[in-house]
Amino acid sequence: MMARMPQRDYEVVVVGARCAGAAVATLLARAGAKVLLLDKATLPSDHVLSTHSINPPGMDVLDELGVGDAVRAVAPPSRLIRVNVEGTVADIPTAEGRALYCPRRQRLDALLQEAAVASGARLLDRTRVVALVHDDGRVVGVRVAGADGERVVSAELVVGADGRHSTVAQLVEAEEYLGYDAPRAVYWAYWNAPSLWHTDPAYRFDMYFGQVGGLLRVIFQTDHHQLLIGAAPPADRVGAWRADPYRTLQAALARDPVIEPLVRDSRPDGHVRGTVRERYYFRRAAGRGWTLVGDAGHHKEFQLGDGITEALLQARSLAAAIRAGSDAALARWWRARDVEALPLYFWGKEAGVVEPPRELLQLVFSHIGREPDLKARFAAVIDRRLSPFEMVPATRAARWVLGAAVRGRWGVLGQLVGAGRRGLAVTRELRAREALLTKAEAAEREETGRPPRPTA
């Protein structure tokens, strides 16, 4: 735990009791820490702005927390992912014995909150943070408002796990970097899966990402025999979507021949959900007496379906850094988070652009669809064993592009050059973040007199 200070009410106060916060609380409480877990919502409750997909590494953390089997009991596994780029289709299996799951958030969050309480953390819902308490420039607690009024809770460390609009991040004025406004909105709803989803050989896949007619669309199978189906229009062209979300979404889905039979002559279960003005970013994630985890400190392109997995992995590594017991360990964790998260962050930025290099994408996925080693490399990206920018070897991509250019498809050559330039920019940024990590590791060694403890 953090170095001992004057007696506090709790060693750690975690603000936000969903994926990241509940997981951190569980791991710390298991290690013997006195933990208070707060949330302003009435729990359990749904998290409406979440597409709730969990990749295999996220499931590994859920298994460590003791809730993986409960998720598998209600949500079907997704082991075959179909990618459709304007009719070029690749079916990509996950690695052997690995699968993605998409449980509804009310069920998932409740399981994680129950695990935290069972581990010894105290959980308070309907309790919001209104201020931080400081002592000589250090955060030493929170002022909270609940059913019984306002009170101060002191702590050695405050963890902000309170989402994209984090109160903790605002109160500590955590600066943002590498941020950008989302180029796309996203609207989705839940349909009861028709029988053809289970019986028609055309739907032998479990998850779908389609770019047809310039519009992005997705299918995730979730629990209780339902499908999450959505579309992502450009953020600056959402007038009709806002005016009539249901009819606009239904019309957009009907224009994809894969999705149309699934929604034909049926209405979704419940209303259409949507978000228009998202922002993707990194935020400073550690300071004197505070840290940020999950979306509070880092938020990336929704298309990747990686937010929960990211939150769970961060929770695991942050708990280890907190147990290391120093401010320097938290600073090192923050820098390591950036190094780990950067490749997928920039891959998401590439995937979300409104006018992607379609010819190049079609060419790449035409090869992925028929070359087993590339499918395996894609699966390794999903499993976080390989950077997405290393998925297709550069020499092989160049050979494909030259072949396409010889056949008269000259546009793809310029698209490859542009992709190469962006890849170099990502490499430069990653090297800069690795240098900051090295510096943070040295600072921790100097402060503690020992090498950094592993955070994984």
Q: Walk along the chain (456 residues) and give the pLDDT tens digit of each residue.
A: 554 556 899 999 999 999 999 999 999 999 999 999 999 998 877 666 677 899 999 999 999 999 999 999 999 999 999 999 999 999 999 999 999 999 999 899 999 999 999 999 999 999 999 999 999 999 999 999 998 899 999 999 999 999 999 999 999 999 999 999 999 999 999 999 999 999 999 999 999 999 998 899 999 999 989 999 999 999 999 999 999 999 999 999 999 999 999 999 899 999 999 999 899 999 999 999 999 999 999 999 988 889 999 999 999 999 999 999 999 999 999 999 999 999 999 999 999 998 888 899 999 999 999 999 999 999 999 999 999 999 999 999 999 999 999 888 888 999 999 999 999 999 999 999 999 999 999 999 998 877 776 655
Q: Six-digit token pair at 441?
A: 């590791």
Domain boundaries, the chain: 10-75+96-177+283-349, 186-274, 353-428
Q: How far is CA 407 from CA 223, 258, 321, in A?
A: 47, 30, 54
Could you tell me which of 44, 361, 349, 42 has the C-alpha nearest to residue 178?
349
Cβ-based neighbour number of residue 361 at 10 Å: 20
CATH assignment, 10-75+96-177+283-349:
3.50.50.60
* Long-range contacts, 419-423 (Cβ 8 Å, 24+): 419/350, 419/357, 419/360, 420/394, 422/346, 422/350, 423/389
